[in-house]
Every structure is written in structure tokens, then in C-alpha cells.
Amino acid sequence: MTAPAPADLAPSRLAMVPFVSVANMLRLVAEVGVETVLTELADAMEEDFRRWPDFEKVPRIASHSAGGVIELMPASDGRLYGFKYVNGHPKNTRTGHQTVTAFGVLSDVETGYPLLLSEMTVLTALRTAAASALAARYLAPKGARTMAMIGNGAQCEFQALAFRTIVGIDTVRLYDVSPEATAKAARNLAARGLTVETCRSAEAAVEGAGIITTCTADKQRATILSDNMVGAGVHINAIGGDCPGKTELHPDILLRSSIFTEFTPQTRIEGELQSLPPDHPATELWEVITGAAPGRRDGAEITLFDSVGFAVEDFTALRYIHDRVEGSSHVEMLDLLADPDDPRDLFGMIVRAGASAAPRPPGQGGPAGHSGPAAAPGR
Ligand SMILES: NC(=O)c1ccc[n+]([C@@H]2O[C@H](COP(=O)([O-])OP(=O)(O)OC[C@H]3O[C@@H](n4cnc5c(N)ncnc54)[C@H](O)[C@@H]3O)[C@@H](O)[C@H]2O)c1
């Protein structure tokens, strides 16, 4: 926390932007309940997917480096504008950093003024899980009770809980190359009442699972699932292939699957689809949700949600959190926007700040902030 400004530099109402810190996001989720947040987020996302054509949409802007990627993800419905800053650095956990961290902003399109600044690391895990479960509600085989979870890192528990709450699974079969990661996920999920089976290989994990989630992190073309591991009728929720050169599935699986995306132009660059020719058919999830395209057609079909994470999902998450925290104690107000009395006299704010900071001769002026017209409220 910074020191409070002197009274003459005290921020005006327009200068202040609500901020949801990590601590407040955690408090909010704990109070509301993870399952409720996941359900409400999935419902809000479904609403936004139903009005998909209203959104201005672009593939995210990615800055790649040897170890990872930093991305900006903007979306607008003409009334609100949201963007997320997010990174993906698969080697980060070795140095105690997370693979994915994020924060985001929701703004009023009319003035361009931010309405909310929020942490989005926790929120991304929630929104990704909500989106996966929403897709599975339309695509997974009816009555699927068991999900294989390959990759038991930061996203894992969120995915498993969303699938229990929204899709109705009761059993997870966990596998990770790191037994510690699997043990952590097993502990967390068993404590939540899920039946947890830990497995020694990905092959073992997928046995008997109607839904397979791949959620690994590696900046390469990995083969987490090979063709022989995928039987007829399963739903694959592929989360970890989300960058050029970073995929999880053998291309032969894609050739046997009906492929569903968030926003196909972005998925062709970043998702499993990058392994196929650019004209390979794919259906966007909003088309299934609105009934414009069929979802799962029969019990033998392999459905694949080729998730990369799309800006509209983050827009939904920000809009949801904005509504949830309004008027609550889960926000702090940040002095984020310079707000001069005369909107064109931005420089005057610096002049007044200088005057306010200058040492005053003894006996002249009161306490800082009450020293006459030169220091009139300028914010
Ligand atoms: N699609 C989306 O919207 C979305 C959103 C968030 C994260 N992601 C992606 O999901 C992935 C997981 O994210 P996270 O935050 O959980 O990362 P994380 O680093 O916390 O966890 C990844 C786990 O995968 C395991 N792993 C790596 N290679 C493996 C392999 N070959 N077999 C089995 N396990 C393996 C690691 O040991 C680790 O435990 C990342 O690739 C991330 O970029 C996608």
C-alpha cells in the first residue's frame, strides 16, 4: 500500500477504480463456494456464447520467447470492453513461479474508463474449468461418471470440480509425470468428496473414462494421448495445447474426432488444430449452444473440445466478478486514473503536486493540502 496522498492531491471519485486483489478473490470464492462460482460462471458464459455475434473478436496477441509466451486478450460487446494479460511459461514451476498468471481490466466503452481491475490467475482457472464443463455439457457422452485427468498442476482441481458440479462426474483418474503433483491433486479432490484413483501412466488413467482431460504444460509438440488410447464415444477436453508448437494429442486422434473450438481462427494458430490442414472442419461452441450446429451426434462419436482459452471467456469472467463484488467488501479502490479538475490541465496536477511537496516556511500555510488556491483540489 502506498502512503495516503496529501489532502490537495486526494483522488476524486473519477480517479478511483475498483480492484479485486488475490486475497479478495480468494475470500469471495471461499464465501460463495467454488462450486457455486463455477456454476454461475458457466451460466454467464453460456449467456455470452448465445450472443456471440455481438462481440468484437480477434485472436489474442502473443509475444513468444524461448521459455514461454505473454498474451493480451481483448474482447468487447460494444458496451463493455475487457482484456486479460496472461503468461504461459511451462518451466516456471521449477523456480517457484507459476506456469500461468494473469490480471485483467473491464472498461466502459462509452468513456473508456476502467470499471474494474482484477487479479485473474485464480479467475482464469475458474473460467477455464467453467468453459470446459460447459462444452462437455453439450458434447460429453450422456451419463459419463469418470474423468481421466492427465496433468495435475494448478488447473487440475478446478477442472475436476467443474466437471462434477456441471457435468455430473463422481470419479477422477489422475496421472502426472510428477507423482507429487498427483498426490497434491488427490488430497485436494478427495477432501472434496470425489472418488480419486491415482494412476501410474496416462494409458492407465484413461481406462474406463468417458471423459479425458489433458492439462499438461510443455512448450513442445507432446503426445500425451496417442491414437490407441482413445476409444469410441469418449469426450476429450484438451486444455494444455494452447500455443504454436505446443500440442498434446497425436494428430490421428483429431482425424477420428469431431472438433469443437472457442474461436476457430485462434485455435488454428494455437490449438490441436494446428496439426491439421487449415481447412479441416471445426465447429465453434457457440454454434452448438445456439442450436445452429449439432453437438454430439451419437454414442460412438469422439468429441474433442480443442480449448485454447478465448477472450470472450475472460470478458464473461470479468463481467461476472464486477457484478459479484459491486457494493461488497471484496474490492479496494485504487487511485488509478489521473483526474484533473480541468480535463485539459493534466500538467497542472504536476504543478500542484510540486507545490504540495515543496517545504513550507514556518508559519505559512496549514498542513499540506490546505495551502490556498495554488493547491486547490486538482483531482
Ligand atoms: N485452454 C485454456 O484456456 C488454458 C487455461 C489455462 C491454462 N492452460 C494450459 O493448461 C496447461 C496446464 O496449466 P497449469 O496452470 O495447470 O500448469 P502447471 O505447470 O501447474 O501443471 C502442468 C502439469 O503437467 C504435468 N506434465 C507435464 N508434462 C506431462 C506429461 N507428458 N504427462 C503428464 N503430465 C505432464 C506437470 O508435471 C504439471 O504438474 C498449460 O499448458 C497451460 O498453458 C490452458
CA-closest residue to ligand 1 atom 24: 216
The helix (H) or strand (E) run that includes residue 248 is: strand 247-249
> Which ligand 1 atom sits closest to the C-alpha of 216?
24
**128, three cell numbers:** 477455464
Buried b / exposed e across 61-96, counting CB within 10 Å, b at 16+? ebeeeeebbebebbbbbeebbbbbebbbbbebeeee
User: How deeply is 266 buried, as exposed, middle or buried, from its count of CB atoms within 10 A (0-12, 13-18, 19+)?
Assistant: buried
What phi and psi values does residue 147 have, to the nearest 5 degrees?
A: -120, 135
The best mutation among 99, 184, 315 to test binding of ligand 1, ranked by most ligand atoms within 8 Å of the C-beta, falls on 99
In terms of Cα–Cα distance, which of 269, 372, 263, 363 is closest to 315? 263
Determine the pLDDT at residue 48: 98
**259, three cell numbers:** 472438433
150 lines ligand 1 (CB under 6 A): yes
Indicate the SS3 state at residue 40: helix
- Segment 15-39 shows an average pLDDT of 97
Please give the Cα distance from 167 to 165 (Å, whole number). 6
Check pLDDT > 80 for residue 362: no
Confidence at 2, pLDDT banded by 50, 70, 90: low
- Segment 271-277 shows an average pLDDT of 97
Please give the Cα distance from 31 to 26 (Å, whole number). 8
What phi and psi values does residue 106 have, to the nearest 5 degrees?
A: -115, 130
Determine the pLDDT at residue 268: 98
Check pLDDT > 60 for residue 102: yes
Determine the pLDDT at residue 247: 96
* DSSP string for residues in 296-343: --STT-EEEEE----HHHHHHHHHHHHHHHTTSTT-EEEE-S---SST
The best mutation among 176, 229, 236, 270 to test binding of ligand 1, ranked by most ligand atoms within 8 Å of the C-beta, falls on 176
Please give the Cα distance from 238 to 246 (Å, whole number). 12
Looking at domain 12-122+315-335, what is its CATH homologous superfamily? ornithine cyclodeaminase, domain 1 (3.30.1780.10)
Q: How many CA atoms lie within 13 A of 268 on its CB side?
A: 13
Check pLDDT > 80 for residue 363: no
Determine the pLDDT at residue 374: 34
- Segment 182-188 shows an average pLDDT of 98
The active-site residue out of 242, 306, 314, 339 is 242
Check pLDDT > 80 for residue 182: yes
The best mutation among 216, 221, 223, 272 to test binding of ligand 1, ranked by most ligand atoms within 8 Å of the C-beta, falls on 216
Ligand 1 centre from 26 Cα, in Å? 21
Known catalytic residue: 176?
Answer: no
Residues of the chain with CATH 3.40.50.720: 141-309
Ligand 1 centre from 100 Cα, in Å? 9
Determine the pLDDT at residue 357: 82
216 lines ligand 1 (CB under 6 A): yes
Lowest mean pLDDT among 5-19, 160-174, 235-249, 306-320: 5-19
Determine the pLDDT at residue 122: 98
Instruction: Name which residue leads in pLDDT, 4 or 270.
Output: 270
Determine the pLDDT at residue 112: 98
- Give me the residues paired with residue 173 across strands: 148, 197
Across the chain, mean pLDDT equals: 93
Determine the pLDDT at residue 205: 98
Chosen CATH of 141-309 out of 1.10.3720.10, 3.40.50.920, 3.40.50.720, 3.40.1670.10: 3.40.50.720
- Segment 114-142 shows an average pLDDT of 98
Check pLDDT > 90 for residue 1: no
Residues of the chain with CATH 3.30.1780.10: 12-122+315-335
Determine the pLDDT at residue 373: 31
Tens digit of each residue's pLDDT (9 = 90 or more) over 220-271: 899 999 999 999 999 999 999 999 999 999 999 999 999 999 999 999 999 9
**308, three cell numbers:** 485454447
Ligand 1 centre from 150 Cα, in Å? 9
Ligand 1 centre from 240 Cα, in Å? 5
β pairing state of 114-119 and 16-20: parallel
135 lines ligand 1 (CB under 6 A): no
- Segment 82-105 shows an average pLDDT of 96
H-assigned helices in the chain: 22-32, 34-50, 121-139, 156-162, 179-190, 202-206, 251-255, 264-270, 285-289, 311-325, 346-357
Check pLDDT > 80 for residue 366: no
128 lines ligand 1 (CB under 6 A): yes
Determine the pLDDT at residue 307: 98
Check pLDDT > 90 for residue 219: no
Check pLDDT > 60 for residue 379: no
Buried b / exposed e across 297-330, counting CB within 10 Å, b at 16+? eeeebbbbbbbbbbbbbbbbbbbbbbebbeeeeb
Confidence at 141, pLDDT banded by 50, 70, 90: very high
Tens digit of each residue's pLDDT (9 = 90 or more) over 40-64: 999 999 999 999 999 999 999 999 9
Please give the Cα distance from 37 to 267 (Å, whole number). 26
Determine the pLDDT at residue 4: 58
- Segment 346-368 shows an average pLDDT of 74
**144, three cell numbers:** 459419463
Check pLDDT > 70 for residue 361: no
